[in-house]
């Protein structure tokens, strides 16, 4: 028998549908930290989605039943998972890698920030798998700050080698959370403050009408539990030529310098720095 802590707030999807949350950068860094722990153990999760991330004060990555060594080369017919969160190369039957977990993280990140369930209005079938390989990705809300949009798009790049590592994700999200908490009207704080205002207004509107989780209409063939998928003749993964159209920013939206992503990825954190970030997260929670 295994006795585990009960997460009273349920999974990530239940949490964002039923709560207003203004510290999403910190929670995303928590998730990235959990994924980093998996990857540091030379494992891959293989089934990362919003139903497997639980909340109880902090975010916990759960359901490691399919977690395997990163160098596992066993060939199996078909793959298990939840289609909207699966990297295109995995749908084509390629070996599962750490980069495939990063793709899943990008889908989760967009879902959490957009507060929209990916591809919930269409069947999760062979046609969707083909479209994902051809570059289709979930819609990005126009409310999400551009610096986060850029990171999401990096995570779900069709080429696995272009995706950031879990360590880079954790470092950059922790750095952005630190910038946000300075309250000095820097670009990060300004954009996140505007984002939180928009999300708060939408949340209040939804609550004045009905429970958001009860109002969502999901296609009967949209399946969010892990299952065996065995698609044939999928095209080689490519990025869509119109990725920029996923989000249409208004002309007066605050902007972030184009090099902010690369600057943050270039930052090298020492073990002391990482320990301090971890301690800051714990202090924030308390």
CATH code of 143's domain: 1.10.510.10
251 domain residue, yes or no: no
Q: Does residue 46 lie within any of the structural domains?
A: yes
* Residue at 273 is within a domain: no
Residue pLDDT, tens place only, 10-29: 999 999 988 888 899 999 99
200-259 pLDDT per residue, tens = 888 777 655 555 555 578 898 999 999 999 999 899 999 987 654 454 333 333 333 344
Q: Which positions ≥6 away from 248 have C-beta within 8 Å? A: 142
Q: Answer yes or no: is 109 within a domain.
A: yes
Between CA 67 and CA 51 the distance in angstroms is: 16
Residue 219 lies in a domain: no
Q: Are 19 and 59 in contact (CB under 8 A)?
A: no
pLDDT at 256: 38
Instruction: Please write the tens of the pLDDT for every residue from 36-63.
Output: 999 999 999 999 999 999 998 889 998 8
Residue owning tokens 């720095």: 273
Distance of CA 160 to the CA centre of its chain: 16
Identify whether 271 is part of a domain.
no
Task: List, for residues 66-123, the tens digit of each pLDDT value.
Answer: 666 776 666 566 789 999 999 999 999 999 999 999 999 999 999 999 999 999 999 9
> Residue 102: which domain range?
10-203+224-240
- Determine the 3-state secondary structure of 52 from DSSP: helix
Q: What is the pLDDT of residues 130-162, one digit of tens each?
A: 999 999 999 999 999 999 999 999 999 999 999
pLDDT at 212 (0 to 100) = 54
* DSSP code, position 142: T
In a domain, 125, yes or no: yes
What's the pTM value of the predicted model, to 2 decimals?
0.81
Q: Is residue 272 a part of any domain in this protein?
A: no
Rg over alpha carbons for the chain, rounded to the nearest Å, is 18
What domain count does the chain have?
1
């Amino acid at each position: 028998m295994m006795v585990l802590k009960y997460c009273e707030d349920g999974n990530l999807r239940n949490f964002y549908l039923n709560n207003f949350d203004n510290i999403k950068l910190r929670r995303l860094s928590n998730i990235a930290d959990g994924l980093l722990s998996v990857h540091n153990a030379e494992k891959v999760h293989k089934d990362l989605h919003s139903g497997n991330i639980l909340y109880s004060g902090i975010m916990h990555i759960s359901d490691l039943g399919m977690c395997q060594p990163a160098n596992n080369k066993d060939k199996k017919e078909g793959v298990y998972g939840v289609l909207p969160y699966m990297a295109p190369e995995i749908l084509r039957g390629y070996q599962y890698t750490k980069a495939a977990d990063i793709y899943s993280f990008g889908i989760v990140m967009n879902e959490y920030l957009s507060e929209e369930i990916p591809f919930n209005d269409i069947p999760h079938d062979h046609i969707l798998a083909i479209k994902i390989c051809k570059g289709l990705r979930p819609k990005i809300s126009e409310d999400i700050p551009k610096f986060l949009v850029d990171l999401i798009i990096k995570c779900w790049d069709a080429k696995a080698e272009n995706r950031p590592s879990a360590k880079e994700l954790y470092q950059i999200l922790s750095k952005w959370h630190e910038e946000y908490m300075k309250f000095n009207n820097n670009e990060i704080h300004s954009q996140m403050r505007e984002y939180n205002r928009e999300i708060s207004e939408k949340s209040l509107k939804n609550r004045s009408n009905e429970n958001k989780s009860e109002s969502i209409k999901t296609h009967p063939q949209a399946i969010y539990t892990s299952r065996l998928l065995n698609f044939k003749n999928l095209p080689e993964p490519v990025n869509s030529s119109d990725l920029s159209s996923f989000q249409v920013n208004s002309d007066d939206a605050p902007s972030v310098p184009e090099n902010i992503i690369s600057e943050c990825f270039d930052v090298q954190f020492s073990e002391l720095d990482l320990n301090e970030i971890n301690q800051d997260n714990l202090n924030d929670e308390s």
